[in-house]
Amino acid sequence: MFVKICGITTQEAADAAVEAGADFIGFLFAESKRKISPADAASIAETIPVTVKKVGVFVNETLENMKRTAEIVGLDVIQLHGEEPSEVAEQLPYEIIKAFPATKEALQKLNNYPCHYFLLDTPSNKRRGGNGITFDWSLLDTLQVDRSKMILAGGLTPENVNDGINKVAPAGVDVSSGVETDGKKDITKINLFIANAKQTKEG
C-alpha cells in the first residue's frame, strides 16, 4: 500500500512525511491555500530522496507551464486534476496520475484514459480536492478497473484510512486536509496516517 501526502508547503512537513514512510510527496501548483511556487517546491524537492516520488498537481494548466514547472522542481509524476483531455496526458513525458470525481459518469471514463494511476476523489463544485469529505465508497463495488492503478482520496484521515483500504482495495491512498490541524500539516497526524495505511491487510 503506497501513500501520497499532498499539499506539502514546508520543509518540516516534507521531512516528516518522508521519515514516516510516504511514497509520494505532492506539490500543488493550482489555486489553493496549499499552492506553492515552483521555486519553493524545488527547494524542498532537493531534500527528498530518489526513492520518494515528487508529484506536481495541476488543474487545467497549459502543457508548456506543466513541463517548465516539472523541470524546475524535478518532478517524477504529474497529476492532472482538472478536465484535461487524454491528448494532454499523452504529450507529457512523465508518469501521469489522473484525478476523477467519484460520479457514475466520470467512472465510466477511467479505462480509456492514458495514465499510470487514476485517483478517485470526492466530487466538488468548488476547488478540487482537499475538501475533507469522503464519497460513497460503495460506488466502486462493481467498478471493473485495474485496482493496481487506483488511488483512493477524498476525506481520508488517520481514523478512516484503514476502513477505506479494506473496503475499496486500492493500490494507494492520498491525503491532504486529513493530516492537517487548523489548515497546516500536523506531524503527528502524518505519522499516524501512514502507519495505519501501511498496516492494513493489503499491505
Buried b (16+ CB within 10 A) or exposed e, 24-51: bbbbbbbebebebebeebbebbeebeee
Long-range contacts of 51-56 (CB under 8 A, 24+ apart): 52/18, 52/22, 52/23, 52/24, 52/25, 53/23, 53/24, 53/25, 53/77, 53/95, 54/24, 54/25, 54/27, 55/4, 55/6, 55/24, 55/25, 55/26, 55/27, 55/79, 55/97, 56/26, 56/27, 56/29
β 24-28/53-58 pair status: parallel
Q: Which residues are catalytic?
A: 6, 121
Closest CA to 80 of 68, 70, 88, 91: 88
